[in-house]
Amino acid sequence: MIGRAPAARDDVGAGALAPGLPLGVYVHFPFCGVHCPYCDFAVEVAAAIPHDEYADAVVAEIAARRRWFEGSAGLVSIYFGGGTPGLWRPDALGRVLAAARAAFGDPDPAALEITVEANPGEAGAVHLAALRAAGVNRLSLGLQALDDRLLRALGRNHDAAAGPAAMAAARAAGFDNLSIDLMFGVPGQTLDDWKRSLDAALALGPEHVSAYALTVERGTPFGSLARAGRLPRPDDEATAEMFTWARAALGAAGLDQYEISSYARPGRRARHNGLYWSGAPYLGAGASASSFRPLAGGGGWRFANPRATPTYLNAARRGAGNPGPVHVERRSAADLENEALWLGLRTRDGVDRAAHAARHGRDPLDGRASAARACVTAGWLDADDARLALTEEGLLFADEVAARLWLDVGGRD
């Protein structure tokens, strides 16, 4: 977990970046049209969004931290998340996009994935066309459900008809790579509700689908309702059945499950998410954004920006450019080896044993053979000379497998 021990601002920039790894940039835009009751992200509902001031702050941060990520194999992804970056004025967002490309090289546009998250009903045809003209080539639409009753239960500020309308507007604006988010395990949702949502979503022809179970977080309105016993969610068995149905329905429609919650048509896997799962470096810019710097000598740094948007903007107003990372933790080589196994097992490709050993200096079964055999016997894990991967049943027990295979690494280096 991320520690909170104080560290000098430039500690996280010390040491050479691990070479030969692709780089991503994540830009957090904290402003939203509504704060959904299940959301624990750093978001802010503002009457007036400071489009230019926020863009100026992010551009300055990218310039200040560029040197921390020198030596990568090249920029492959820029991802605007939030919050709702689809609300950001396109020319302001475009300035940030241009700054990231200038800071880390300007690859062939076909080789660079540039994603913006947007919500149905909040970005019209002119806005979407401007995003496309700025270079955005992938749109992630937060549909969540295609049922008015369930959308109300989730506190969304759009109706079911807005989802198909947003998809049509995005196609008209020139987007040929569209991802949609769908949520199951929603209060009041039945398996038949989920089947209808999947059918309706597939009729829209997305290139990518993120289908994930609702997670109830402490500190959210849903968390309070759950503790009071007033959140009527499907039970674990019903939620597992929804997950299994999604795998079958999406697979039959040509969307391959390549990670527990992620499905894509051939050639449309999310490059940005792949960076997280493979332990590649990424710079997180904006309020609350997290970064990762794996080091050439082993180990690495994880750190995040101040969560509060005013704190982040105040640092920019002082001309610092670098807001000062918080929640800083130095990760040892052993820590990162544990993480690599956990994250790799979330993918359907699994963990390549030879590649894992080449990067981390140990075979993933070293010290884990007994625990792995128990997972194989339980029917959760496939293990052979080449790789480790979760079985179809094991996908339902991914967290249990990760806990059993996690090694106690003791102190930090």
H/E element, 328: strand 326-331
The structure tokens 């991967």 sit at 389
Examine the pLDDT at 171 and tell me if it is beyond 80: yes
Percentage of the chain surpassing pLDDT 90? Answer: 86
Domain boundaries, the chain: 9-276
Report the C-alpha gap between 377 and 370 in whole angstroms: 11
pLDDT value at residue 9: 54
* Collapsed DSSP state (helix, strand, coil) of residue 118: strand
Residue 253 predicted with pLDDT over 50: yes
Q: Is the pLDDT of residue 119 over 80?
A: yes
Look up the CATH number of domain 9-276: 3.20.20.70
Q: Are 280 and 22 in contact (CB under 8 A)?
A: yes
Interval 207-240: pLDDT, tens: 999 999 999 999 899 999 999 999 999 999 999 9
Which of 90, 99, 88 shows the shortest CA–CA distance to 29? 88
Q: What span, in angstroms and rounded, lies between the C-alpha atoms of 38 and 155?
A: 8
Q: For residue range 135-154, what is the model confidence (pLDDT) as tens digits?
A: 999 999 999 999 999 999 99
Q: Helix 333-346 to helix 398-405 angle, to the nearest 10 degrees?
A: 150
pLDDT bucket at 6, cuts 50 / 70 / 90: very low
Question: CB of 15 within 8 A of CB of 295?
Answer: yes
pLDDT of residue 293: 97
Question: What are the pLDDT digits (tens) for 325-369?
Answer: 888 999 999 999 999 999 999 999 999 999 999 999 999 999 999
- Radius of gyration of the chain from its Cα atoms, rounded to whole angstroms: 21
Q: Is pLDDT above 60 for 1?
A: no
Residue 204: C-alpha distances to residues 170, 191, 201, 388 (Å): 12, 20, 5, 35
Average pLDDT over residues 47-69: 95
Average pLDDT over residues 178-201: 97
Output the pLDDT for position 10: 58
d(CA 185, CA 38) in angstroms, rounded, equals 12
pLDDT of residue 3: 39
Rounded distance, CA 357 to CA 360, Å?
5
Confidence category of residue 409, pLDDT binned at 50, 70, 90: low
pLDDT of residue 234: 95
Rounded to two decimals, the pTM is 0.94
| Res. 83: pLDDT tops 70 | yes
- State mean pLDDT over 94-100: 97
- The pLDDT of residue 4: 39
